[in-house]
A and B are shown apart, each in its own frame.
Chain A
Amino acid sequence: MKRLPLLFLVGFLAACRARESAVGAGPTPGSALTPTETAAPPLGFLDESKEGTPVEGGVLRRRLLGEPTTLNAVLQSGLPEQQVLQYVSRQLLDFDARLDLAPGLVEKWEVSDDGREYRLFLRKDAAWEDGTAVTAGDAVFTIRQIRDPKIPSPVFKPLFADADIVEAIDATSFRVRFRSADAMHAYAFALPLLPEKRYAGRPFLKVRENRAPLSNGPYRFVRWKTQESIELERNPKWSGAPGHFDRILFRVMPENPVAYRALTEGSLDETAIDQSLKERAAADRTFAACCRVVEFYNLDFNYIALNNRSPLFSDVRVRRALTMLLDRPSIVRGLYRGSARIISGPWAPDSPAYDSRVTALPFDPRAAAELLDRAGWRDTNGNGTRDKAGREFEFDLLGSAGSTAGRQLDEIFAAELAQAGVRARVRPMEWAAFVERIDAGDYEAASLAWAASDGNPDPYPYWHSSQFPPGGVNVAFYANPAADRLMEDARRERDPARRREIYHRLHRIFRDDAPVVFVVNASQKYAFRRRIGGLVTSPLGLYGFWPGPLSWWGRPDDSVTPESAH
């Protein structure tokens, strides 16, 4: 009985914390970069699951950045949905804090020798909140719905595109066979389930459970007051380790400053914050008395996409020059006040695929100018902008109008490029129009943010030359046969250590080829009331993994006890 190979090694977390990019590294945790009255929050991963004595009961009040559009786990597409669904909808497999796949609703799974077939065995005690068991029928139904062309499930559909057989073996086990022996298929099973009996025979998009989901997790749905709040309570039919709180209350609060106030006034327990709020918190005595900032790096990063097909960016020397023209160290210092790390490839430094020995290209305008000269871009007509064969080096730098960070990055980049004779026109665009153009590949340069939704570092869909738009999402139109081969090898490689080696080699290629301008991996910042304990953070954030927020507990008040003072 072959076990599915575990994906990545234990303990890399500890190693990762110490490793930082060689160039322009952020400060080591604890260094005082900003003068504050309270100590700067430690920058690193927390694991308070063994600290203190958990208190049972009470209400946890969390913040939703936006209103979920649905609570149907298969249709989910945004962060607010994930935040709520995590409590009511278990996945077949979970990611744990170390980005490994771990059992969820499934207690064990096997892969066939040829690597194409997966057999998954559900836990015998997995149950829905109405008492009925979670069956293989539910799993098969869910996967069939995902594959149904009439159902818009953009997040999960690509994961099962390659499957050809999906069927139940018995009441608690099922099998899925894929057409290829891709090692990435295992990730497809980080999948929540839908209760077949509530959906069968009804119009999928109109079922009541889309707004009032049937739970198979530690909590169950109580009510949803649109635009205001979603309330959950303990699920008595849950057979696993229960959560510590009796009720969970999610409040919809799109604005950060509002959430900050709610937190300090005591009506919220947890909120995401941004850089400026973090600085305000550092100087705010009320905050220091009631709350604390939790800061850590996750797998998100920013980059400036370059359309490799454009005659402007097809030359690797030009792309390297552009990377060297962006003063990333200054951005880390000035814009992020040190809470960011420069990246040299399409992963965050805490990703297992990232090779910390690969250094980023330096900020070197002189070398960049030389590269541009050698690539044939010189200012022949004296108008201040480089040109070549009659074409001026100017282009539109697109960004999303709603993103402050994106706009700031664009303006900084444009200013630095201007000094080197490259004219970038910053064009903030309305969101939907922006997304359409990027995904269609109809742009020259654009500032984008990558938000990792799971621990899968597979670069294939985003960088392989077979994945150009409109069919794929290699929106940079990057095409490098050597990189292609490595990406294909990595997909087929079942040994995680060897796969990591391949990724490291790819990392070097990405750094040298500079298909896009990789910018930084900025830290995630949250503010909590001190009464909340048991926090665990991971590169997947606060809640992209198991148990995630389920390990939190809360004292009834905020008295600052010696061991909780930070």
Chain B
Amino acid sequence: MIRRLPASGRVALVVVALLWLVAAVSPLFAGRAAEIRLDERLQAPSRLHPFGTDDLGRDLAARVVVATPISLAIGLVAAAVSLVVGFGIGGAAGYFGGVTDLLLSRLVEVVLCFPVLFLLLALAAFLPPSPATVVLAIGLTTWPSDARYARAEILKAKSLDYARAAKAAGAGPLRILLRHLLPNALAPLLVSAAFGVSWAILAEAALSFLGVGLPPPAASWGGILSSAPAYIEEAWWLALFPGLALFATVSAYNLLAESLRRATTEAGGK
């Protein structure tokens, strides 16, 4: 499938790989990122501090690097949670139909129409701050779109010949699901996952920005950005660089997802 990706997709893949590389080497910068130097607060970018320093004198570049694995990991896990829950519920609704479908669709609708921010805020603010809470909050608020997608796909696939044939031959639901439906759903699953990751990274950043994300000092990019508004008139670098990292990551994942979608759609897959 990688071969079928357009050029933009391959670029995106490279960027994502680079990001993970940065994440892998980031422990090397942990010390520098934690060094509080009150005498060097809010310094503009210089040779010593390429991104400047933050409001406690810590090197911003080191902090941005150290935030990479946190932001990426949370994004990935939250997207995975969303995917699993969404596909599980959506798949079940589509497959079993009838009352199950009715009930589960109502559940999907409730969460879909729910004030997203309220749910995020409530979960993140009322539970003790931790990566698990953030992952849970994001995963629980984004699964409905995956569920709807999964349900639609399963409904489509159910009506296809090979599925009906397998059922007529006596195959059980799980077997049909795994052997027949899933392989065809793999491509759209990947697309969904890629979009999910970028959305989850954004959501986590937003939560941290609002002050209900990860506890310090283990800040993600959003967490670093949360201190930027207070110093907006004197320290523009606090806003620029973490946001740039966020932008690059989200763009890369979006681009990847977009090209995956184009590749799989044009190839005839659903």
A/B contact in complex, CB under 8 angstroms: yes
Asked if residues B39 and A334 are in contact (CB atoms below 8 Å), the reply is: yes
Q: Which of A409-457 contact B (CB under 8 A)?
A: 410-412, 414-415, 425-430, 433
Asked if residues B38 and A404 are in contact (CB atoms below 8 Å), the reply is: no
Residue B211 is within 8 A (CB to CB) of chain A in the complex? yes
Convert B197-224 into 0s and 1s, putting 1 for each residue whose CB lies closer than 8 angstroms to a CB of A: 0000000000000011001110000000
| B contact residues around A279 at 8 Å (CB) | 234
| A contact residues around B231 at 8 Å (CB) | 276
| A contact residues around B36 at 8 Å (CB) | 411-412, 415
User: Which of B39, B56, B125 touches A408 (beta carbons < 8 Å)?
Assistant: B56
Residue B88 is within 8 A (CB to CB) of chain A in the complex? no
Residue A335 is within 8 A (CB to CB) of chain B in the complex? yes
| A contact residues around B129 at 8 Å (CB) | 427-429
Taking the closest CB of chain B, its distance from the CB of A278, in whole angstroms, is: 12
Taking the closest CB of chain A, its distance from the CB of B131, in whole angstroms, is: 13
Residue A257 is within 8 A (CB to CB) of chain B in the complex? yes
Taking the closest CB of chain B, its distance from the CB of A42, in whole angstroms, is: 24
Asked if residues A404 and B227 are in contact (CB atoms below 8 Å), the reply is: yes
Asked if residues B233 and A412 are in contact (CB atoms below 8 Å), the reply is: no
Q: How far is the CA of A126 from the CA of B215 in the complex (A)?
A: 54
Q: How far is the CA of A331 from the CA of B39 in the complex (A)?
A: 10
Residue B243 is within 8 A (CB to CB) of chain A in the complex? no
Asked if residues A426 and B216 are in contact (CB atoms below 8 Å), the reply is: yes
Nearest CB to that of B36 among chain A residues? A415
Q: How far is the CA of A330 from the CA of B56 in the complex (A)?
A: 12
Taking the closest CB of chain A, its distance from the CB of B34, in whole angstroms, is: 7
| A contact residues around B215 at 8 Å (CB) | 425-428
| B contact residues around A415 at 8 Å (CB) | 34, 36, 217
Q: How far is the CA of A279 from the CA of B215 in the complex (A)?
A: 29
Q: How far is the CA of A424 from the CA of B47 in the complex (A)?
A: 33
Residue A407 is within 8 A (CB to CB) of chain B in the complex? yes
User: Which of A257, A408, A414, A430 touches B126 (beta carbons < 8 Å)?
Assistant: A430
Nearest CB to that of A279 among chain B residues? B234
User: Which of B38, B126, B128 touches A412 (beta carbons < 8 Å)?
Assistant: B38
Residue B10 is within 8 A (CB to CB) of chain A in the complex? no
| A contact residues around B39 at 8 Å (CB) | 333-334
Residue B230 is within 8 A (CB to CB) of chain A in the complex? yes
Residue B232 is within 8 A (CB to CB) of chain A in the complex? yes
| A contact residues around B57 at 8 Å (CB) | 334
Nearest CB to that of A277 among chain B residues? B233
| B contact residues, total (Cβ < 8 Å) | 24
Taking the closest CB of chain A, its distance from the CB of B226, in whole angstroms, is: 9
Asked if residues B217 and A426 are in contact (CB atoms below 8 Å), the reply is: yes
Taking the closest CB of chain A, its distance from the CB of B40, in whole angstroms, is: 9
Convert A316-336 into 0s and 1s, putting 1 for each residue whose CB lies closer than 8 angstroms to a CB of B: 000000000000001101110
Asked if residues A428 and B125 are in contact (CB atoms below 8 Å), the reply is: no
Taking the closest CB of chain A, its distance from the CB of B142, in whole angstroms, is: 22
Nearest CB to that of B35 among chain A residues? A415
Asked if residues B217 and A414 are in contact (CB atoms below 8 Å), the reply is: yes
Q: Which of B216, B230, B234 has the most CB of A within 10 A?
A: B216
User: Which of B37, B38, B211, B232 touches A401 (beta carbons < 8 Å)?
Assistant: B211
Residue B59 is within 8 A (CB to CB) of chain A in the complex? no
Q: How far is the CA of A70 from the CA of B128 in the complex (A)?
A: 32
Taking the closest CB of chain B, its distance from the CB of A330, in whole angstroms, is: 6
| B contact residues around A408 at 8 Å (CB) | 55-56
| B contact residues around A410 at 8 Å (CB) | 216
Q: Which of B96-140 contact A (CB under 8 A)?
A: 125-126, 128-129
Residue B41 is within 8 A (CB to CB) of chain A in the complex? yes
Residue A366 is within 8 A (CB to CB) of chain B in the complex? no
Asked if residues A430 and B212 are in contact (CB atoms below 8 Å), the reply is: yes
| A contact residues around B233 at 8 Å (CB) | 257, 280
Q: How far is the CA of A426 from the CA of B125 in the complex (A)?
A: 15
| A contact residues around B230 at 8 Å (CB) | 276, 404
Convert B128-169 into 0s and 1s, putting 1 for each residue whose CB lies closer than 8 angstroms to a CB of A: 110000000000000000000000000000000000000000
Nearest CB to that of B126 among chain A residues? A433
Q: Which of B36, B37, B212 has the most CB of A within 10 A?
A: B36
Taking the closest CB of chain B, its distance from the CB of A141, in whole angstroms, is: 41
Residue A402 is within 8 A (CB to CB) of chain B in the complex? yes
Nearest CB to that of B37 among chain A residues? A334
Q: How far is the CA of A402 from the CA of B212 in the complex (A)?
A: 10
Q: How far is the CA of A426 from the CA of B233 in the complex (A)?
A: 27
Q: How far is the CA of A427 from the CA of B55 in the complex (A)?
A: 18
Nearest CB to that of A402 among chain B residues? B211
| B contact residues around A331 at 8 Å (CB) | 38
Convert A324-364 into 0s and 1s, putting 1 for each residue whose CB lies closer than 8 angstroms to a CB of B: 00000011011100000000000000000000000000000
Asked if residues A334 and B217 are in contact (CB atoms below 8 Å), the reply is: no
Q: Which of B22-43 contact A (CB under 8 A)?
A: 34, 36-39, 41
Q: How far is the CA of A396 from the CA of B184 in the complex (A)?
A: 49
| B contact residues around A280 at 8 Å (CB) | 233-234
Q: Which of A228-285 contact B (CB under 8 A)?
A: 257, 276, 279-280
Asked if residues A412 and B56 are in contact (CB atoms below 8 Å), the reply is: yes
Nearest CB to that of A256 among chain B residues? B230
Nearest CB to that of B42 among chain A residues? A276
Q: How far is the CA of A412 from the CA of B56 in the complex (A)?
A: 8
User: Which of B56, B128, B212 touches A411 (beta carbons < 8 Å)?
Assistant: B56
User: Which of B34, B125, B234 touches A276 (beta carbons < 8 Å)?
Assistant: B234
Nearest CB to that of B235 among chain A residues? A276
| A contact residues around B211 at 8 Å (CB) | 401-402, 428, 430
Interface residues of A (CB under 8 A from B): 257, 276, 279-280, 330-331, 333-335, 401-402, 404, 407-408, 410-412, 414-415, 425-430, 433
What are 11 A-B contacts with C-beta separation under 8 Å? Answer: A279-B234, A280-B233, A333-B39, A335-B41, A408-B56, A410-B216, A411-B36, A412-B38, A412-B56, A427-B129, A430-B125
Top 9 closest pairs, chain A to chain B, by CB: A334-B38, A430-B125, A401-B211, A415-B36, A426-B216, A427-B215, A334-B39, A330-B38, A404-B230
Given contacts A334-B39, A411-B217, A414-B217, 11 further A-B contacts (CB under 8 A): A276-B230, A276-B231, A335-B38, A335-B41, A404-B227, A412-B38, A412-B56, A425-B215, A426-B215, A430-B126, A433-B126
